[in-house]
């Protein structure tokens, strides 16, 4: 039995897909207004692990993750950069994909763009108007929060509480300050589309409602995204979708914890961000993925160079073990334990613990001349589900020695050692170390490892 923590239920609940053996997942992708930061990497990895695990558990998974390519911020960014919204969005979108690939994130099965689903959004808005849940004011269309029973159920807020808050933008056109825009009348210089309410563009939130329904249908299984999207974005998605259909929108809501920098949220708005692309290049997507997977996906996580070092270190330990032995048929007991911890809301920290237990046990068996291939097989399987192998290492800097060249040096050193010319041998080792190659002498000869 798989249990997941659903924000909607505020508890661990048994995971039961809508359709037997199949899982539909919708994860809120980025608003492509600027380059990706480490926080984006975290949500991508979190849900990629969930996707891979469900696949491993034998489900047919349809993974949908959108690109929001029309929105206030993008328009502003494009105007500032002096380029079109389209060009900017396309460029950023490509950079997100590339960075995610370096993190070992599988491409979504469907990656719908908001601008390619305007008719679906218009149709959805019309349904909401027909049902008396939305109204038009001077070319804008707003969702009427007070007419919907149960608004606030995801975020645990009551409308009157929200209303008493003083931070809600007051727009005269709205009947209620809580109402939010489904459609916005166009302003000069902005992209626009024709609609029954005149030229305009969609509001934020509506694209997810329209595209999730289109690709996954009503009552699909898992809706995911960052914790910070719970309110208002996901709350409003529920309002729109359930308001229009009268049916539940998504069965389970999963939210990943945010990335902190110096104890505080990494946030675009106050410039506290670490650029994802530069980390992936200099430190490798693999190390960053490791850093993410070491913590539970719902916990907040601190980001720093030191923590990245630690993650890379742990990765090396894993790699060294895997280089010692050829993987065989996986140890079934180990996989069973892996399944146990992952079934419990995707317990990757426990999976890591298991992984390193296996490494120690495998190393011990090898030291004793035993057969560690089943353990190595289990290690490989687990690493595969965690997606670590699909992430890329850091870009190699400095001298690039070919494998053949390294082998030659190593052989030369072995000759020196056997002739007890240790000074010569050590000089070769030091030079290789400087070039980023570490040597390890063992009973079966010398192994080397790029650092």
Partner RNA sequence: GGCGACGUGGCCGAGUGGUUAGGCACGGGUCUGCAAAACCCGGUACACCGGUUCGAUUCCGGUCGUCGCCUCCA
**Residues 35-54, interacting with RNA (CB under 7 A):** 37, 39-40, 42-43
204, 252, 338, 346: residue in contact with RNA (rule CB under 7 A): 204
Contact pattern from residue 290 through residue 309 relative to RNA, giving x for each residue in contact according to CB under 7 A and a dash for the rest: ----xxx--xxxx---xx--
* 159 is a site residue for RNA (CB under 7 A): no
Of 374, 340, 384, the closest CA to residue 2 belongs to 340
185 DSSP β-pair partners: 200
Collapse the DSSP code of 436 into the 3-class scheme (helix H, G, I; strand E, B; otherwise coil) and give the result: coil
| Pick 130 or 433: Cβ nearer RNA | 433
Collapse the DSSP code of 222 into the 3-class scheme (helix H, G, I; strand E, B; otherwise coil) and give the result: strand
**Residues 334-363, interacting with RNA (CB under 7 A):** 347, 349-350, 352-353, 356-357, 359-360, 363
Rounded to a whole number of angstroms, the minimum distance from the CB of residue 223 to RNA is: 12
131, 268, 322, 450: residue in contact with RNA (rule CB under 7 A): 268
Of 302, 263, 291, 308, the closest CA to residue 349 belongs to 291
* 263 is a site residue for RNA (CB under 7 A): yes
* 240 is a site residue for RNA (CB under 7 A): no
**Residues 95-154, interacting with RNA (CB under 7 A):** none
Rounded to a whole number of angstroms, the minimum distance from the CB of residue 411 to RNA is: 14
**Residues 402-431, interacting with RNA (CB under 7 A):** 417, 422, 425-426, 429
**Residues 307-336, interacting with RNA (CB under 7 A):** 307, 310, 313-314, 317, 320-321
Q: How far apart are CA 270 and CA 283, in angstroms?
A: 25
Q: Which stretch binds RNA (CB under 7 A): 136-144, 244-252, 369-377, 437-445?
A: 437-445
* 157 is a site residue for RNA (CB under 7 A): yes
Of 267, 286, 304, the closest CA to residue 37 belongs to 267
Strands (E), 94-219: 134-137, 140-143, 180-185, 200-202
| Pick 56 or 231: Cβ nearer RNA | 231
Rounded to a whole number of angstroms, the minimum distance from the CB of residue 404 to RNA is: 21
Buried b (16+ CB within 10 A) or exposed e, 330-369: bbeebbebbbebbbebbbbebbbebbeebbebbbebbeee
* 227 is a site residue for RNA (CB under 7 A): yes
Question: Measuring CA to CA, how many Å separate 202 from each of 10, 55, 135, 301, 445?
Answer: 31, 34, 14, 34, 65
Collapse the DSSP code of 362 into the 3-class scheme (helix H, G, I; strand E, B; otherwise coil) and give the result: helix
Rounded to a whole number of angstroms, the minimum distance from the CB of residue 231 to RNA is: 4
**Residues 367-386, interacting with RNA (CB under 7 A):** 367
């Amino acid at each position: 039995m798989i249990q997941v923590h659903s924000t909607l239920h505020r508890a661990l609940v048994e995971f039961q897909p809508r359709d037997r053996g199949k899982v539909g997942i919708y994860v809120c992708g980025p608003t492509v207004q600027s380059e990706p930061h480490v926080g984006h990497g975290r949500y991508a990895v979190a849900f990629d692990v969930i996707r891979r695990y469900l696949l491993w558990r034998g489900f047919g998974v349809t993974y949908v993750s959108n690109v929001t390519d029309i929105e206030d911020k993008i328009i502003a960014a494009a105007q500032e950069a002096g380029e079109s919204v389209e060009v900017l969005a396309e460029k950023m979108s490509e950079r997100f994909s590339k960075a995610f690939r370096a993190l070992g994130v599988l491409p979504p099965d469907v990656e719908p763009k908001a601008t390619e689903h305007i008719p679906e959004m218009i149709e959805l808005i019309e349904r909401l108007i027909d049902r008396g849940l939305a109204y038009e004011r001077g070319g804008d269309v707003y969702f009427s929060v007070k007419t919907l029973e149960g608004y606030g159920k995801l975020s645990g807020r009551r409308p009157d509480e929200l209303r008493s808050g003083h931070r809600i933008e007051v727009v005269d056109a709205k009947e209620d300050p809580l109402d939010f825009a489904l459609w916005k009348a166009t302003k000069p210089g902005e992209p626009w589309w024709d609609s029954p309410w005149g030229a305009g563009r969609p509001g934020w939130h509506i694209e997810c409602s329209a595209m999730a329904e289109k690709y996954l249908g009503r009552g699909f299984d898992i809706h995911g995204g960052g914790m910070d999207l719970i309110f208002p974005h996901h709350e409003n998605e529920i309002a729109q979708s359930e308001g229009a259909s009268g049916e539940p929108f998504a069965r389970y809501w999963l939210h990943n914890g945010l990335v902190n920098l110096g104890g505080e949220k990494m946030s675009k708005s106050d410039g506290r961000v670490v650029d994802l692309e530069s980390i992936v290049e200099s430190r490798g997507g693999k190390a960053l993925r490791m850093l993410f997977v070491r913590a539970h996906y719902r916990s907040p996580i601190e980001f720093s160079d030191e923590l990245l070092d630690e993650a890379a270190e742990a990765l090396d330990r894993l790699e060294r073990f895997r280089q010692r032995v050829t993987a065989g048929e996986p140890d079934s007991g180990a996989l069973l334990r892996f399944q146990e911890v992952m079934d419990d809301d995707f317990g990757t920290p426990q999976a890591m613990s298991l992984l390193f237990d296996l490494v120690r046990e495998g190393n011990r068996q090898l030291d004793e001349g035993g057969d560690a291939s089943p353990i190595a097989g289990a290690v490989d399987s687990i690493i595969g589900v965690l997606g670590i192998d699909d992430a890329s290492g850091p870009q190699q800097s400095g001298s690039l020695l070919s494998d053949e060249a390294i082998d030659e040096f190593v052989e030369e050193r072995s000759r020196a050692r056997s002739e007890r010319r240790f000074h010569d041998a050590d000089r070769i080792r030091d030079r290789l170390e400087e070039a980023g190659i570490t040597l390890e002498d063992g009973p079966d000869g010398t192994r080397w490892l790029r650092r």
